[in-house]
Every structure is written in structure tokens, then in C-alpha cells.
Structure 1
Amino acid sequence: MNLQLMQHQEEGVAFLTRERAGLLAFEQGLGKTLVAIDAFRRLFLAGTVDRMLVICPNSLKRNWVAEIEKFAPNLTVEIAEGSPRLRRRAFAASPAKVIVTSYETARVEVTAILGLLATHKTVLTLDESHAAKNWRSLTSAAMRHFAPHVKYRWLLSGTPVTNSPTDLFTQVEIIAPGSRALGSIESFVQRIEDDPEAKFARPVFDQVLLRRTKEQCLDLPEKSFSDIVVELPAWQRKLYDEMREQMVSTVRNMSGEQYQAFASTALVQLMRLSQLASNPALLMPETGETPAKFDILDGLVSDILSVPARKIIIWSTYVRNVEALSARYSQHGAVSIYGGVEATERQEVAARFQNDPKTRILIANAAAAGTGFTLTAASFTIYESMSWRYDHYAQSQDRNHRIGQTLPVSYLRLIAADTIDEAVAKALERKAGMARSLLSDADAPKALSRLSPQEMCDLISKNQLPETYLKELAADG
């Protein structure tokens, strides 16, 4: 099969094959998977390598298989999964030229993977490589353990920086193991305290990273963003304010030791406020009232779908909301993708949304559907709720603003007035700015656990992100 690659994709193939190790930081929708497949195909035909091991999020394993079968049908592919015996047999004896596995499997099958790397000329490909960004995680340790055993180390990520510059530090260590190109992790963290944008590291980043944006490579339609401020009705406001006041009172009456324990679970505590702002039934199933955001959604859905052929993606953080909204909009042929949908069925759901004119709404959770799907049938995207995860937010946007989109894309965020929604939105915007800076175009924030009691009270009661938090966004590892 003769592939006709776009110019930026040819540049990507040249980068991976020439440099042998690097981070392909193409924005979502520019074809990173295709580039890696074709780069391996060319090396394989030249006899330079004989295997490619792809390590990716569990939800993307079958997407890789489908892409290889589509773009390189002469390459055999197998997924290493299932029982330990089946996984190890795949790594040790599979005749497939491409072996795909998950980060979870790679963490527990280090010995088997090292055996594969020792017996074959292997390309190590880490898809969504920011999954290995946390220096202290078992995933990161395993990837850094594999790296010295292969000559070709390809990292792929549209969002290589999701929290702080240390996200890139860890990935550079995988690309160039043992080089200490950026010094030690401790010295790097110390330096970015004075240089949050890590300008001192830019020469290294520029050497090992190839960044391309959709604006540079594609003539895509414009995208626009609008925030819709949602006023909570009296019953929902009362529930929210009561919980907020209770949290503030609790924090103010804590001892130092008690507050430390509370702060370590701050994200969970704040999620309860987010749930009340979204749909109180998530916490109080007996609640019979319709939450404000659902009322607003009803109007938006009615208006948007009044024009024939239009389709909508609705993103929600909460599984029960995905299920409730799917039932609510069943008359529009609503389908859903979330953790409860088997991985083998998700591509079928996406294909139905893309191709069936009667399926006009997709309701999804970004954790399950934020990567690996093309959803260009929709030109409208609504965020019913958002998490603190910048990677989920950025990747979800790119499901429908990518190659194949012919219409301007509108993104609507529902922000409940005077709630934690406002702080989440500000945090995501801050992270987006940091990402663009670091890449010449940035986990749920650990910085929250470092807020003082007063700063925590201000966040809960006033939805204010303190300067301490904003600094931690730029410096936290």
C-alpha cells in the first residue's frame, strides 16, 4: 500500500527514522499513529529493525491494531494481554512484527519485555507518553528501564506537558537515558522555581522534540469558545452553599495534623462541590429536581439540532450523568462512551455516531473517549462538567477539530455561577498557557494539597485560585 503522507507527516517520519529517539509532539488529529507506523514500516523493509513494541493506554490498544491493518496491512500485529501466561507467550514467541500492550501490562511484565528487547531489533513506541511523566511512578520507572535496551525510542503525545515542566524532564530521560541532559530531577525542579517556563531547558527540548500544531499544518475551519454561566436554582444553590459552608467551617476548626490529612484528599473534597454544581443526584439520589445544567442543555440541544444534519458531543466528568443524559436524549439517537462501555465496542459506537444520520448526540467521558476517536460528524461540543485534568480537556477538543472536519467548531462550557467550576476553568486556562509556552506554541494538581488552611477556605468559599497554587502549577512535579 502506497501511503500519501502530508508534508508534516513526512517530516515526522524523517525525524523518527533519522534521530532514532525523540518525542513526536504533534497536536491531536495530525496523524502521530500513522507517522510511527510508516516510520517503522520503512525501517523494517530496510532490515534495520524487525519488531515494534507499542505501549499505550489500555483504551487505545485496538485502535493501534485497526490503524496498522488499515495503513500497513503487510505488518502482522498482536496484542499482549489476558492472563500472565498469554502475555508472556506473546512477548517471547509471537511471530507478529508489531506487539501492542498497555502501560499497566508493561509495569508488571518488565522481565518478559526485556527478553523481547534482547532478542529482537526493536522500536520502542510509547503512545500518549505523558502517561510516564511522573518520575516516581512505576510506569515511569519501567519505561526508563526499557529505554537503554533499544536504539529506537519513539514517544508520541499531543499533550506532553499536562501539569508542569517536569513532565518533559521525565520523557527526555526516556529519550536519552543516562545522558543527564537536564541534570538531576532535584536540580531541575529547583531551577524551574526561578524559571517557571524552563527557558534554560529549551535547547534540549528543541533537540529531542518535534512539535507541529494544526494551525501550522492544516487548513481546518475555525473553532470558537463560549462560556455559558449557569445560575443555580434556589434548591440547588441551598445544597451547594450548605456544603461549602460546612467545608469551610470544618477546615477552620482542624488541627494542623487533621488539616494535613484533609489537604491530601483535597481533590476528592472539591469534587463533591463540583458534583453539586453539576447534578446533586450524584450525591443525593433521592433528589427529584432537574439540575440547572440539564435545563440549559435541553435548550441548547433543541436549538442546535433544529438544523438538520447537525450533531453534538456532550462531555461530562461523571458516569451517572453520561447515563442520565443518554436516556434524556434518546429521542435524538444518543449514544455514549464511558468506562462502562466495553473497549471492543467503543469504536463501533464512534462509527455509528460518525455515519448514522439518526445518531445525533454522543455523550462521553473524556477519560474513556478523549483519545483514539475521530468524531468530526459533530461541529458542536458542550462541556457539561470538567475535571482538573488538562490532558483530558485538550484531547477531548481534538476529537472533532481534526482532519476531516469541514465546518467551524463551537465549544460551549457550562460554568455554574459562584461555584468551584470557576476555579477549574481558570486552572485549565493556566495550564493551556503553560503548555503553549513550553512547546513553543503544558494529574490532577498536587498543588492543591499544599494550600494553607486560609487558601483552601478561599478556594472553597470564593472559588479563588491563590497565587501559591498558580506558582505550583508551574513548578510542581
Structure 2
Amino acid sequence: VPGAGKTTEAISFYLLHKKANQGLIVICPKNAFPAWEEQFNQCLGNLAPRILRLTQGVIRIENDLSTNIGCVFLISYQQFIRAANPIAKYLHNNRTFVFIDESHRMKGGSNNSTGRQIQKIAHLPIGKLIMSGTPLPQGVNDLIPQYSFLFPTDGDITEQNITEKIKKVYVRTTKKELGLDKPKIITTPIPLNEPQKNLYDLIRSEELRQLSGLGNNDRRFYRQLGKSYMRLLQVVSNPSLLLKTASSFPDALREAIEYGDGNKIKYVAIKARQLAKEGKKVIIWSGFVENVESITQMLSDLGAKCIHGGVEAGSEEEENTRERIVKDFHDDPNMFALVANPAACSEGISLHTVCHHAIYLDRNYNSAQFLQSMDRIHRLGLPKGTETIIEIVHSPHSIDDLVDSRLNDKIRRMSEVLEDDSLRVEPVTVELDEDGFDAEDAKQLLKHLKGLL
């Protein structure tokens, strides 16, 4: 479970097993760098080892490795892919531990560069850990590459036996065991406005027409389905997002944009101001960078700031870094809103001491991002009796219905494999006063395009 103390346990494992001059390499999202640094310092104080961030390209990384043998190194997944060879050389020459934080990111195995490069070093470390609160965001097969990293010589790993194999070697602390009250998860239905609905229906029909010329076994068919789902998400979230791509319906798009902000964005802004009047902070999530920046500008009077992939990591002292923005959200009484992209901000930060309300303008099929982002405000250390509200802004009779259904299916399957009922997400509908799209998602989307869902 995110926030259950995995980092502290991993540090304890390292300290228990390491010998003199045996270092550690942690492969993790760059958002998690501060958490590792902070935990080492909290656990060890003045005895904490030297911790270096491996950044700024292969040449700099090679130099840092060669001149700091035995240190603790932090490297992002993106940098690791580029610097896999010098890291493999370092591991070959120096007895070193390797921890994979948020290990579900390697779930693609040999089918993507992250999984392939990590698997290549699996035989080199003297000690290994994988860490994830959401280890199977898509399905049971996600566990196979993660287990293979731990046990690269086990050639008998299948979809049928991976669950039993992983149960023998994993430890999980559930939110129930942590004594956390369940969050209140609500769905707020916001209908599309008329021009938006007209555009949605036109695009849905056009996407189906384009797919009709492709066979189900054609790889282009599934690529087109992926594009179709993204366009439908954009229409429902914010039609102006479609300006970046050529539209088959320029008149309908212009009408939808001229009508003004979509109802969902209007609602989110109103709700954020309402919470601010009550002295409450809010985090607003959207998968689209343009939405993140637009809402931040709309809520500038609330001191809103944003984090997305274009916001660099750094230190709390540097202006406009992720760390500084998170610090301001904690410390600045006039900053009532943080707007973020789950792909860039769903891991490695804690907001639960100052924020107890999250609003989702839109979501995609990535269950890991959804669960991880929820846990930014619902995690270990939350005072007993604190009500945590997760609000999902949902447009009925649209792609939102499919996303909601498929996310619930994936999360339910994960909770069954991990025997953790706290993962189950059962929202209550209220009335108003790098995306996880898989084969089953594609089947459901095709039914939706045909008007069957």
C-alpha cells in the first residue's frame, strides 16, 4: 500500500545485509528522490550514507559512479534506460544492492525498453527488492517481469502459477492493518453541454467509420482504437484539447469551444473556490497537461500551482521545482489548490497532512496511476477521524462510463490477488446542489462506438 512504510523497510533490509563499501542503486520515479533522501536522514541522521542523484546524461552518470563507489545512488527510469550499460558495468565491478521502486513500471517486460533494460541487470546485484503498492495494474501477467527480476533463473513462470510464486516472497501491509479509515469516494455526475454532446456523437460515429475499414487482426485497428479513446476523453474533459489535431468536424468543434469551458471544468473551479472559502485545500487531477495549466490559471486567485511532466525536479530552495511547489502547498496558507497530472505526480509525494479533498476532472485506464494518486492524501500518518474525500467528476453516457467500469474491474482483480480489500473502489454517486489501455478496454470501447454500451 502506498504510504505503508515500504521505503523504511527497504532501508532496513539494506542496512541489515550490507557490508563495508557495498552500495545501493535505487531505480525509481524522479518524484520519489526526496522521499528516499528524507527517509535515510530520518532513519540514520548523521550516520546516513552519501546519497547521489544520477542525472544529466550518460557521461555525468559514468563519472559519478566511478568517483563515488559504495554510495547510495538514485536514478529515474528514464535515465536508467539511457545509462543501463555503465550501470551494468558498475554492478559487475562493485558488490551492490538494487531496489526497484514502483516496480509495476517494468510490467511490460521484454515488450518495452524499461523492462528489457532492467532484466539485463537482474543477475548482477548482490541483493534485490521490488517495491510497489499496485504491482498488477492491468492484470496478473504484470507480475511476471517483476518476479523474473528477482529470480532470473526460474524458467517456469506462467500466468497460471505466478500468483502462487509471488505470494511466497511478497509482504504487504494493508490500510486496514494501518488503522486508516476508508476514504469517502463519490461520483459527481456532470452532463455534457449540448455543443459538447453533439461533437462527442459526431466523433464517436467517425471513429467507428474509420475502424470499419480495418480487420480486427490488423495492428492498426488497435492503434486506431487507442486514438479513438483518447479523442473521446478529450471531448468530455475539454473540447479545446482537440485543436492540436486535425478535426473532421471543424464547425462542431468551433461551436463547442465558443460555448465556453465544459461543464466539468466549470464545476471543478466552482468546487475549488467553495473549499477555499471553507479554508480547505484541494488537489485537482487531470491527465492532460493543457488542462492542468488552464485550471491553474483559472484558479490563480487561490494561489494555484501545478505539477506535470514539464516541471523539473530539484530542491525545495529552487523556484518552480516540484519539491518547491509541494513545500509551498504544505506551508503557504494562501495556496489552496494544487493541479497535477497523475503521470508526473501520482508517486513519491505526501499531501495528507494539509489536504483531504481530491477532485478528478478526468481519468484514463491506468489503475496504478489512479490508486497511487488517491494515496497522496490517504496514507500512513493521517490523523484518526480525518475524512478523506475522493471526488470523481463524471459525465454519464460517455467514455467516462467505460473508464469507470474498467478501472473497477482492474482494481477488484488486484485486490483479489493481493488479498487486500482496501483496494476496492466503490464510489457513491451524488447529485449536485506511458494510460493503461488494454485488450479488454478495446473490446468495451468498440461496443461503445457501436452504441451497445
Q: TM-score range by the shorter chain?
A: 0.7 to 0.9
Match of 1:269 among 228, 234, 240: 228
Looking at structure 2, the residues matched to 259 and 50 of structure 1 have their Cα atoms a distance apart, in angstroms, of 50
TM-score, length basis structure 1? 0.82
Q: Could you say which residue in structure 2 is the equivalent of 1:245?
A: 205
Any idea what the Cα deviations from partners look like across 1:186-245, whole Å, max 9, x if unmatched? xx24x4xxxxxxxx44432221111111211x2223311111111111111111111112
Q: Could you say which residue in structure 2 is the equivalent of 1:417?
A: 396
Looking at structure 2, the residues matched to 90 and 204 of structure 1 have their Cα atoms a distance apart, in angstroms, of 37
Q: Do the aligned residues in 1 keep the contact of 2:296 with 2:304 (CA within 8 Å)?
A: yes
Match of 2:66 among 86, 92, 113: 92
Looking at structure 2, the residues matched to 131 and 457 of structure 1 have their Cα atoms a distance apart, in angstroms, of 27
Looking at structure 1, the residues matched to 231 and 452 of structure 2 have their Cα atoms a distance apart, in angstroms, of 14
**SS class of match (1:408):** coil
**SS class of match (2:172):** strand
Q: Could you say which residue in structure 2 is the equivalent of 1:426?
A: 405
Q: Over aligned residues, Cα RMSD in angstroms?
A: 2.3
Q: Do the aligned residues in 1 keep the contact of 2:229 with 2:445 (CA within 8 Å)?
A: no
Q: Do the aligned residues in 2 keep the contact of 1:243 with 1:273 (CA within 8 Å)?
A: yes
Looking at structure 2, the residues matched to 201 and 339 of structure 1 have their Cα atoms a distance apart, in angstroms, of 34
1:300-379 paired onto structure 2 within 5 Å:
300-308=271-279, 310-344=280-314, 345-376=321-352, 377-379=354-356
Gaps in structure 1 of 5+ consecutive residues: 1-26, 192-199, 465-477
Q: Could you say which residue in structure 2 is the equivalent of 1:108?
A: 82
Q: Give the counterpart letter for 1:227 in structure 2.
A: T
1:95-174 paired onto structure 2 within 5 Å:
95=69, 97-136=71-110, 137-174=112-149
Match of 1:298 among 243, 261, 269: 269
Shift of 1:76: 0.5
Q: Could you say which residue in structure 2 is the equivalent of 1:387?
A: 364
TM-score, length basis structure 2? 0.86
Shift of 1:293: 0.4
Aligned length: 416
**SS class of match (2:411):** helix
Shift of 1:70: 4.0
Q: Give the counterpart letter for 1:402 in structure 2.
A: R
Looking at structure 2, the residues matched to 265 and 125 of structure 1 have their Cα atoms a distance apart, in angstroms, of 37
Q: Give the counterpart letter for 1:213 in structure 2.
A: T
Any idea what the Cα deviations from partners look like across 1:264-315, whole Å, max 9, x if unmatched? 232222111111101111114862312110222233224333322x111110
Q: Do the aligned residues in 2 keep the contact of 1:276 with 1:283 (CA within 8 Å)?
A: yes
Looking at structure 1, the residues matched to 445 and 387 of structure 2 have their Cα atoms a distance apart, in angstroms, of 40
Q: Give the counterpart letter for 1:297 in structure 2.
A: V
Q: Give the counterpart letter for 1:280 in structure 2.
A: P
Any idea what the Cα deviations from partners look like across 1:331-357, whole Å, max 9, x if unmatched? 111111111212221111111111221
Looking at structure 1, the residues matched to 295 and 167 of structure 2 have their Cα atoms a distance apart, in angstroms, of 44
Pair 260,166 (structure 1): closer, same or farther in 2 beyond 3 Å: closer
Pair 154,64 (structure 1): closer, same or farther in 2 beyond 3 Å: same
Match of 1:51 among 17, 23, 44: 23
Percent identity between matched residues is 25
Looking at structure 1, the residues matched to 441 and 284 of structure 2 have their Cα atoms a distance apart, in angstroms, of 30
Q: Could you say which residue in structure 1 is the equivalent of 2:426?
A: none
